[in-house]
Amino acid sequence: MTDLRALIRDIPDYPKPGILFYDITPVLGHADGFSDLIDRMADPFREAGITKVAGIEARGFTVAAPVATELEAGFIPIRKPGKLPYQVHHREYSLEYGTDALEMHTDAVVPGDRVLVVDDVIATGGTAAAALALLSDAGAEVIAVSVFIELGFLDGAAALGGVPFHALLTFD
């Protein structure tokens, strides 16, 4: 089993002073590490009857799409406004300073779809909570949220309203 933490590059003061950025691109570029990451993110959900995996823009796509393949499920891109070419469901959410929004195609899920939400990192949980609301409003049954890295000191899992949560690595 690959030591995934050893492959993550810590970049201080990015994107602004005082922030420590956890760069996962070395994991993505390491064939065994990337394969291990995908297997470990998919493993807890192999028997959960997942029909779709939703990935949150943008780094979440790099993990969610291969997890969907592993689970023999479809993939749903959840994107920032204006990025999808078809009719969309739209959900605004609050940030520390202002608001943002997420969108997905109106035909991305059908009632009864069992969806796993996947992202690279969860910080405060606002983006993941908005994705959950977007999917639930469209009739999907959200089974869980799975992330590569949880910034535990920000307690983002608390924003998920009790939806089961899985993180491979937690940084406190």
Active site residue 59: yes
The answer to whether position 16 is within a domain reads no
The residues, ordered by sequence, that sit 6+ positions from 27 with a Cβ below 8 Å of its Cβ are 4, 7, 8, 33, 34, 37, 148
Residue 107: give its domain's CATH number: 3.40.50.2020
Q: Which of 74, 59, 54 is nearest to 28 (CA)?
A: 59
The answer to whether position 29 is within a domain reads no
Name the active-site residue from 57, 59, 114, 141.
59
The answer to whether position 125 is within a domain reads yes
Question: Over pLDDT 90: what percentage of the chain?
Answer: 93
Into how many domains does the chain fold? 1
Query: pLDDT for 70-95, tens place per residue?
Result: 999 999 999 999 999 999 999 999 87
The answer to whether position 76 is within a domain reads yes
Query: pLDDT for 34-46, tens place per residue?
Result: 999 999 999 999 9
The answer to whether position 92 is within a domain reads yes
Active site residue 96: yes
Q: How far apart are CA 125 and CA 77, in angstroms?
A: 18
The answer to whether position 166 is within a domain reads yes
pLDDT value of residue 95 = 76
The answer to whether position 22 is within a domain reads no
Name the active-site residue from 40, 79, 91, 96.
96
The answer to whether position 121 is within a domain reads yes
Query: Whole domain around residue 87: which residue ranges?
Result: 47-171
